[in-house]
Structure 1
């Protein structure tokens, strides 16, 4: 069943902000108790910026262990997110009363490969926006077979499409493992998940990309993402979302805010409509409400000073070409998007570097080159043009070399001499 025509309140809000020249900023926030979660949402809604509220679920709910979540609530234990199913739809609905409105949409973020129970609960609670995907919430976070996750997500999308109101679905495909995944593969996975959502009845969609290690490369990647979304998802209501760097985060406050500033500049200059913000506490603990608010206000203030860049001047390193090739080839491998995704991973034609899931070939390799760009070393079976794929010979990858790449942005932004606007200059 197709979803109702036209965007829901989540996308309407994003579009209003974009018309007003405002970047929408959103936290990755979740607390275990109703009181904490409501207080967090109220604080975010009160910021002088275009904000969207987030309910991030806990790790028990993510894997459908709702009994453990209920026990933790009964025993007063701290949870690392909101156990929406354990609390129940009516409790969640009451918590959101007077908060979730057209002027302040709320999205559930989760990380579940099998989200059926969660989606049923959020719909019953009156929530109309969530995220994830059959690949992006299976390979990094679970041992669930990919074919099983694809089937579950097909059922879930059709359930959301049949609710009678537009439900927004955001692909997490642009954030695979958070780091060391070449931009073209991130873009292709996000577009492919968007096509999967559309195939199963959803028409209110966002596509994602996670900030990586080189601002000019990221600008090119976001331009490619938006161009490909227009081509492949042009008959849906879509927008793009950028994630502040999802890998190992700077430990110093100065470094953390330098990296956040760079992501806000990147979002504003690329024309991206929404930014998922990280805080200065990311490297060691779950951020407080005040820390989330501070990060959101900072990111919004940075974006207000920026204007969209003239994207025609971007150096073309082949990101668009590579992503288009991956998408086009994948879609030839099945009679529908879901079966094509499963077969593409089985053949190694979709392959996520350093991902240990049993359905991922893990043959391709990427690296951060001497310029700080994230590039292919060996694409394995991924169908990218070979002339673009291979960089200079990097030598044998060692464990130390991998750790150095994983900590690249942490070290870069924690260096005393790289701070503020100097650290993210796009020139």
Structure 2
């Protein structure tokens, strides 16, 4: 099949599906019709999409951690602990690195070694190896709505198994799970493979099962300007909607300046609805997710809690539908379940204190919203133009031209010409706009903001600012001052 943003026919999907289910023996345990019937039995209180719809309607911000271990019983215990002790509203199954690279034999070895050791020797939950029956044990033993979180360029078999097993949300996308994660995988392949995941989700929707889909918003996680992540989020949302997905969550990673972060979430939801309507996708629900700081963390736990609290405050005041929560052990490695629960409770407390407060619609906030929208529209409209009216084709061409570009990405398919740095107030701007299709006034805005900081610091604007900003939070401040 040729890559294009067009809904796959059932025949096209099934032709590829036959091969996907053969890639590991557990694929033989997938039965779509039986999966639909099982999904119908999941109550609303454990249904991800329904909880998001309710939260959006009520103006609530739900909490969700990251978590995953190798063995089924240990994974169940971990998730139930985060639900009870961490008070998590939504729960994840973070997938292990071998599964993310489709290395199922190595994942199986990890399971067997974990059984011998009596503890997890994998950095996540190998759902493909556990198969529908094993994964369904998790669904039936955990009192919460479950989402698959991973980082997989080719996530087709993982989607088949977890959706048939009863998971009601699936994270990722052909851009956001390629450019920040892989070096040499082409965008044509990952967009195509993720169209499969979206078509599968769309097929469930056609049978009355609305499984939530969530593109990965933060991308590379450090100093990603809102317009870059927003453009990717909206494109992945459109690609999903074309395949029939009805419940989509668009994401954004915290930058650190409160006004910019609040503006970013508000602009993201408005842009998502604007472009969905513009292209005829109106029978769906859009929600937002705010990711707490994705860059370097302080090693000191007390300082780490401050970073978590700041992210919680920004999520609450922006009225994001949910927030992905960090732990005080971010700088130390895989967190204990107790540390994970503490991060959740810290976030929940902050959200509860701020839920009745409204951040004022100041002139500064309005200007920031308008700038983010203007920048994002420049990118989206150029991608659409490059694709001749097709976002899938346009995305491939846009990355080749640098019209879409992600800072610090490992992928050789991203030009990496743009360079972000903070302005004098800590908002993320562009020291170098690369080939982004911004208007002259937008380019001048970024130059002026960087020059203002350089003057305040008594140094020339340079790449050193970028380096200083990358490490600033881990060293105890937001802006990397000399």
Within 5 Å, give how 1:174-189 maps onto structure 2: 174-189=217-232
Look up the match of 2:195: 154
Asked whether 1:290 is paired with 2:338, we answer: yes
Residue 210 of structure 1 pairs with residue 264 of structure 2: no
CA distance in 2, matches of 1:208, 1:312: 24
- Alignment equivalent of 1:375, drawn from 429, 433, 458: 429
Deviation of the 1:109 alpha carbon: 0.2
Match of 1:308 among 358, 364, 386: 358
**1:25-424 residue pairs with structure 2 within 5 A?**
25-47=63-85, 49=87, 51-76=89-114, 78-99=121-142, 104-142=144-182, 143-163=184-204, 164=207, 165-172=209-216, 174-233=217-276, 235=282, 236-306=284-354, 307-311=357-361, 313=363, 314-317=365-368, 318-334=371-387, 335-389=389-443, 390-391=446-447, 392-393=450-451, 395=460, 397-398=462-463, 401-413=465-477
* SS of alignment partner, residue 240 of structure 1: strand
What is the CA deviation profile of residues 244-288 of structure 1, one whole-angstrom value per residue up to 9, with x for unaligned ones? 011111211121111111111111111111000000001111112
Residue 47 of structure 1: how far off its partner (Å)? 4.9
* Cα drift, residue 20 of structure 1: 4.6
CA contact (8 A) 2:407 2:418 kept: yes
Output the CA distance in 1 between the equivalents of 2:210 and 2:54. 17
Q: Which residue of 2 aligns with 1:12?
A: 50
Gaps of 5+ in 2: 1-6, 11-35, 37-43, 115-119, 455-459
**Structure 2: distance between partners of 1:38 and 1:273:** 25
Deviation at 1:22, TM superposition (A): 3.5
Please say which of residues 91-100 and 297-306 is displaced more in the overlay: 91-100
Q: How far apart are the structure 2 equivalents of 1:329 and 1:21?
A: 34
Describe the superposition over 1:344-376 as per-residue Cα deviations: whole angstroms up to 9, x where unpaired. 111111111232411111222221233222101
Is the 8 Å Cα contact of residues 250 and 414 (structure 1) preserved in structure 2?
Answer: no
Q: Quote the Cα distance in structure 2 between the aligned partners of 1:356 and 1:73.
A: 29
Cα contact 2:215–2:251 (8 A) shared by 1:
yes
Larger Cα-atom Rg: 2
Contact 1:157/1:201, CA 8 A, preserved across alignment: yes
The CA deviation string for residues 220-260 of structure 1, in whole angstroms up to 9 with x for no partner, is 21221121122123522110000001111121112111111
CA contact (8 A) 1:268 1:308 kept: no
1:312 Cα shift?
5.4
- SS of the counterpart of 2:417? coil
Secondary structure at the aligned position of 2:386 is classed as coil
Aligned residue pairs, count: 408
Q: Which has the higher helix share?
A: 2
Cα distance change of structure 1 residues 48 and 154 upon mapping to structure 2, 3 Å threshold: closer
After superposing the two structures, state which structure 1 stretch, 238-247 or 337-346, moved more. 337-346
TM-score, normalized by length of structure 2? 0.80
- Provide the rounded CA distance (Å) in 2 between the counterparts of 1:403 and 1:397: 10
Equivalent residue of 2:330, what SS? Answer: coil
TM-score by length of 1: 0.89
Does the CA contact (< 8 Å) of 1:348 and 1:381 recur in 2? Answer: yes
CA deviation string 1:394-423 (max 9, x = no partner): 65744x5443221122223599xxxxxxxx
Displacement of 1:315 in angstroms is 4.4
Residue 425 of structure 1 corresponds to none
Q: Compute the displacement of 1:98 (Å).
A: 4.0
